[in-house]
Chain A
Amino acid sequence: MKLIIAIIQPYKLEAVMEELDKTEIHLKTVSHVLGCGRQKGHSEIYRGVKEAGNLLKKVRLEIAVNDQFVEPTVSAITKAARTGEVGDGKIFVMDLESCIRIRTGEKGPEAIG
């Protein structure tokens, strides 16, 4: 079992969800997050005064999958979220020790899907 965490551009969420649907990946958690990478955030101007170094708005996707779905999930996200510009985001894949479905108490791989 793996946990996939993807940080993407907010305006790419729709395209990523569509691509994941096509790949039959339906379970995900989405949240608004703030962050910055090498582009060091962005600047805003209020009453003629510049405010630099603001964190950028991003969207964070969390998807838990069984091992055989890791590759399709990662490629679906990559395909939909990539523009080639700085700020497209990152995907992290990590081992998932356990998974419990609260409703039934099922554990392990069958609890994921």
Chain B
Amino acid sequence: MINTGDTAWVLVSTALVLLMTAPGLMLFYGGLVRRKNVLSIMMQSLFLLCLISLQWILFGYSLSFGPDVGHFIGNLHWAMLRNVTGAPNPDYAPTIPHTLFMLFQMMFAVITPALITGAFAERMKFSGFALFSLLWAILVYDPICHWVWGAGGWIRNLGALDFAGGTVVHISSGIAALACALVLGKRKTYHNGATPPHNLVFTVIGAGLLWFGWFGFNAGSALAANELAVNAFLVTNTAAAAAALTWMAIEWRINGKPTILGAASGVVAGLVAITPASGFVSAGSAILIGITVGIACYFAVAVVKTKFGYDDSLDAFGVHGVGGTTGALLTGLFAQKIINAGGNNGLLFGNPSLLKIQFIAVAVTMAYSFTVTFILLKIVDAVVGGLRVEENDEIIGLDITQHEENAYTLID
């Protein structure tokens, strides 16, 4: 039975999640790279928005949410949207058109590979990126999405909680980002220091748009205009605020000054961590989740990355991998049936088994995403003749060498 209020809210939420990729993530990442690479990183997000939009309709949605095969993947009965109609699907969203649920999920499938681009920014060949991303969507995103959210998926059957994509979106992409950073190697100019962002104003606008769009991501994941959506909205805002204040406080203490890049990074870290928890935890828990993830992500990008020396250029692993893991595990601590009767109680509310289930979901997702990403990169490397652009092209910049364009002119 279609509910018009629910349908209106999920329509708006779908557009909000699109806004996170274009232009939210484009600006967030675009500001962080050097001026000679800003178009290349924006192009990658725009390209994925178009590519995955079609992949999803052709067969991606069917692989992710279609009728279950062995608890691992959907079959192709919903390919080309066959059997996906205006009638609601009771397994997923009983009050909105099935087509709308498919569209809402499409925007998640778009942003996930786009998050990975932060790890190989400023050095990956466009052809290699394009092929890798398509294969990654099919062989990593679609299966993991099916395990966690698809009817019959094995992690869903296990009882793991992932309200809006902590595991499906952030851990899968964050771990893939680490594999990319390790396989591609460092940028020629990277020596474990910082690469000054070329336009922090872009980055701050991008972070603001991500925050705004995240209300669609999390509150939209209620798939209805109800009290659960409102709770998700509340805890999303709360965790973002708490994580950003935490990040600023750490900087203030350690470096003597809070920075706006730190604040913006904290916002995103908080939003990432609350994602899996947003339909299951209270506002008080959201503050604690925000504080914890602020500390965890700061430590990951400022200490761990420098110590090990991998070039996760825009901290896709440091923020999404670490933040997503923090959020998924803390969901096992803070979840409450009082918030969502369809969920479960966490460790702090008398049910230690949920934490164990969350841990299994996190560990298997990490292992699967890392392994398959690693293999895909090796295959793509062989197919396109090297994942990276030529050394001289990297020095000149990807905008000119990959796309024959410049973002900024010097004269007029």
Contact surface of A with B, Cβ cutoff 8 Å: 44-52, 54
Contact = CB atoms under 8 A, between A and B. Distances in A.
B262 A48 contact: yes
Nearest to B262: A47
Nearest to B32: A46
Interface residues of B, number: 22
A47 B196 contact: no
A20 B251 CA distance: 43
29 contacts: A44-B196, A45-B251, A45-B255, A45-B257, A45-B259, A46-B197, A47-B194, A47-B261, A47-B265, A47-B298, A47-B301, A47-B302, A48-B250, A48-B262, A48-B298, A48-B301, A48-B302, A48-B303, A49-B193, A49-B194, A49-B302, A49-B305, A49-B306, A50-B193, A51-B193, A51-B194, A51-B195, A51-B196, A52-B193
Contacts of B251: 45, 48
A45 B196 contact: no
B6 interface: no
Among the interface residues A45, A46, A50, A51, which one has the most CB atoms of the partner chain B within 10 A?
A46
B315 interface: yes
Interface of A is mostly: strand
B303 A54 contact: no
Contacts of B255: 45, 48
A33 to B, nearest CB: 14
Contacts of A52: 193
B341 interface: no
Contacts of B257: 45
Contacts of B301: 47-49
Nearest to B314: A47
Contacts of A49: 192-194, 301-302, 305-306
Contacts of A47: 194, 261-262, 265, 298, 301-302, 315
Given A47-B265, A48-B302, A51-B195, 20 more contacts: A45-B251, A45-B255, A45-B259, A46-B195, A46-B196, A47-B194, A47-B262, A47-B298, A47-B302, A48-B251, A48-B255, A48-B303, A49-B192, A49-B193, A49-B194, A49-B302, A49-B306, A50-B193, A51-B193, A54-B196
A76 B121 CA distance: 49
A47 B306 CA distance: 11
Contacts of A44: 194, 196
